[in-house]
Structure 1
Amino acid sequence: MTILQEPIPMERAWVGSRLRKTDEWITPLTNADLAGIESALHAVSTRGLKWGEFDAASFPIGSLADKLSKISHDLRHGRGFVLLRGVPVEKYTLEEIQIIYWGLGSHLGTIVSQNAKGTLIEHITDKKPANLGDPNLRSYVTNEGQPPHSDQSDIVSLLCVDRALKGGESVVVSSLAIYNRILAEHPEYLLPLYEGYYHDLRGEGESGDINETSDVPVPVFSNYNDQFRAWFHSKKMRNGSRKKNVALSPLQIEAMKYIETLGQDPELRLDMQLEPGDIQLLNNYSALHYRHAFVDGQGHKRLMLRLWIEMADMGDFDPVMERWVRQGIPQRAWSKNKPVQALGNV
């Protein structure tokens, strides 16, 4: 284990207070881009293909492919998040929107499963689960706010179909900027964060046991073969330790709370209200994300479509991170005959 002792450069470890003064993180779609999307949609529809049944080669988007290639580079080596703006969702059916979204995602990498049911495009909306308050419940099926966290893939993407009546703002924060603050202010937290925490699998693991956890602690920070990565999910970490019956040390608890605090620091975070047609793309190893609570009504029901994407050319990974946070949540055979508690009793 090699602990990075130098601060990460500001061009990657960005702060929200600066980005709020600029729109450099927003990439608008041009008329030519939209024409490419329309042509690609026509191409797959003519062949009778649905989303999930085709790859990038079958969804030719013209010059937009070059723009997505640049976005891919920025996600891996630059700021680590991009807002792509302007998909005219109002002119398409939900099925057509999903075809477009699948096609664009396929140009960025391999789309991976997000839960034990094998879901590839998840609908992020208030599903009003009956088991609200269940510690195993994944909060995206509710209208509740969330703490700062990472998802289990290289890239997480959200496409806004409709916003809420009130609230639901999306927040992103650089986990690399958080690292710099810890390095400067609380370097004693680095060792426990590099050593890691057991992760709660929330009943979506290989066995389907609600108490199953990762078999080893998973690092929050990793500097493996000079590839620095961060990954943080305090709920999975706290519940993993509890289910594993491993007491967290005071230093482990303090370190976790400090990341949660920094993730909500107005100096570091960037809030945005995703509008219909916006696509947010985020590297889970360099940025955290979360959302505020929301209320639907008056013709608005917040709906985000989510993709988890595994990218090529990501470099070396700590083997523990590779196993436990990178490749999505595999579809489980047992889920055909058993409800998945984490997804809500609806």
Structure 2
Amino acid sequence: MSSAEYLQGACVWHGADMQTSPRWVKHFPAAVLDEIDTAVHKASDIDWQDVNRDNFPLPSAAPFFDDVRAELENGSGMVKIVGLDVGRYDAEQLRRIWYALGRHLGTPMFQNRRGELMREIKDEGAGVGAKLYGATVDASGKEFLSSGARTLSPGELRFHTDRCDVVGLLCVRQASEGGVSKLASSATVYNEMLKRRPDLHSLLCRPIPRSRFGEEAGGQYVSYDLPVFGVREGKLTSHFSLTYIENAQLLPGVRRLSDAEHEALRLLLQLAQEHCFEMRFAPGDIQLLNNHIVYHGRTAFKDDASTGQDRMLMRLWLSVPNSRALPEDHAILWGDVASGMPHGGIAQPATPCTV
């Protein structure tokens, strides 16, 4: 029987309530939009990767960003920012703007072993994701894609978290059909599982084998153990991606999950679905999610490039200065687990990766 306590606070929410609650939706102040417009034109000769808070100043934005970070860390764990007119800017200007916003909010982290700090999330076509992020075969001989590869396809994405404090998505274009974001409070899932099945809850508080498949160079051969649920100082972190758990089960020498552990993982996904809500992006919308307390997924989508409805999002992974302290055993994945320290992201190879 689990001895865990129920989580409290604004991070515990139900999807039906969040659909009607405006607290997580924030509008860019008009002054900040004016400053963005001024800064992006002054930074026209600066590569987006060299943009920082000094060469892309937003002098009146500090209180707004403080409010955003507070909602992410101590509130619901999610924010949608609206008001940016992406139609005013070309692709390079949007990259400067988005990276600058990331630098004002926190520290951008590497998203893959090739050192990308910003990634376009779109349908890259058959085989591209597998080449970039890796694929193998399962026990039946069927192709098994890494999580990174799956993001570059139009297929459904299961509930998961990314390897950073905050994942940020800027919608540039939306698909003609689908591509709906699904969000669930991992704190609510934690509480519901503790209430319904404390025996299964306790299993997810213990180490579960994972694979680094498709992340670090050579990572398809590396496994590690990490609980799905970890709590430190009353704050949850739930790092979860079923793909990496499933892939670990394909590796030799990795402990095989018990039937009860498989049942616990199925229940987690069931509870996430029960308590989620759906949010469709509009061009210019910015979604920010605290990965420690929010699971996110996506419905499948269809593009129609002839009408300009081919889904494209720009993604940043951020470490934020007000981040929570993580349990000590999470250092195997996150690095420094102290509060407010840059952690997460993908470790870079000692020599440049050419794949």
What is the TM-score of this pair, normalised by structure 1? 0.89
CA distance change for structure 1 residues 14 and 226 in 2, over 3 Å: closer, same or farther?
closer
Structure 1 match to 2:280: 273
Cα deviation for residue 198 of structure 1 reads 1.8
Residues 124 and 306, structure 1, Cα contact 8 Å, conserved in 2: yes
Structure 1 match to 2:339: none
Residues 163 and 302, structure 1, Cα contact 8 Å, conserved in 2: yes
Q: Which has the higher mean CA deviation after the structures are superposed, 187-196 or 327-336?
A: 327-336
Q: Aligned letter for 1:306?
A: R
For 1:189 and 1:271, how far apart are their aligned partners in 2?
27
Q: Aligned letter for 2:106?
A: G
Tell me, what secondary structure is at the counterpart of 2:210? coil
For 2:271 and 2:8, how far apart are their aligned partners in 1?
18
Matched, 1:316 2:325: yes
For 2:119 and 2:329, how far apart are their aligned partners in 1?
26
Matched, 1:61 2:58: yes
For 2:315 and 2:260, how far apart are their aligned partners in 1?
35
Structure 2 match to 1:218: 226
Matched, 1:306 2:315: yes
Matched, 1:136 2:145: yes
Matched, 1:196 2:213: no
Structure 2 match to 1:240: 248
Tell me, what secondary structure is at the counterpart of 1:178? helix
Cα deviation for residue 331 of structure 1 reads 2.7
Cα deviation for residue 55 of structure 1 reads 1.9
Per-residue Cα deviation, 1:217-257 (whole angstroms, up to 9, x for no partner):
11111123444322211111121233253210111111111
Q: Aligned letter for 2:75?
A: G
RMSD value, Cα: 1.9
Per-residue Cα deviation, 1:234-282 (whole angstroms, up to 9, x for no partner):
11112123325321011111111111111111xx112011000000000
Q: Which has the higher strand share?
A: 2
Residues 178 and 263, structure 1, Cα contact 8 Å, conserved in 2: yes
* Structure 1 gaps, min length 5: 340-346
Structure 1 match to 2:337: none
For 1:65 and 1:110, how far apart are their aligned partners in 2?
15
Cα deviation for residue 96 of structure 1 reads 0.4
For 2:201 and 2:246, how far apart are their aligned partners in 1?
18
Matches within 5 A, 1:330-345: 330-333=347-350, 336-337=353-354, 339=355
Q: Aligned letter for 1:16?
A: G
The alignment-based identity, stated in percent, is 28
Matches within 5 A, 1:164-179: 164-179=175-190
Structure 1 match to 2:216: 205
For 2:219 and 2:72, how far apart are their aligned partners in 1?
35
CA distance change for structure 1 residues 324 and 304 in 2, over 3 Å: closer, same or farther?
same
Per-residue Cα deviation, 1:271-301 (whole angstroms, up to 9, x for no partner):
0110000000000000000110000013311
For 2:53 and 2:197, how far apart are their aligned partners in 1?
45
- Tell which has more relative contact order, 1 or 2 (C-alpha 8 A, sep 6+): 1
Residues 118 and 332, structure 1, Cα contact 8 Å, conserved in 2: no
Residues 199 and 240, structure 1, Cα contact 8 Å, conserved in 2: yes
Matches within 5 A, 1:37-116: 37-45=36-44, 48-116=45-113
CA distance change for structure 1 residues 203 and 23 in 2, over 3 Å: closer, same or farther?
closer
* Structure 2 gaps, min length 5: 136-141, 335-342
Matched, 1:285 2:292: yes
Structure 2 match to 1:159: 170
What is the TM-score of this pair, normalised by structure 2? 0.87
For 1:76 and 1:87, how far apart are their aligned partners in 2?
23
Q: How many residues align?
A: 329
For 1:292 and 1:70, how far apart are their aligned partners in 2?
30
For 1:149 and 1:191, how far apart are their aligned partners in 2?
20
Q: Aligned letter for 1:95?
A: E
Tell me, what secondary structure is at the counterpart of 1:83? strand
After TM superposition, where is structure 1 displaced by more than 6 Å over at least 4 residues in a row? none
Structure 2 match to 1:187: 198
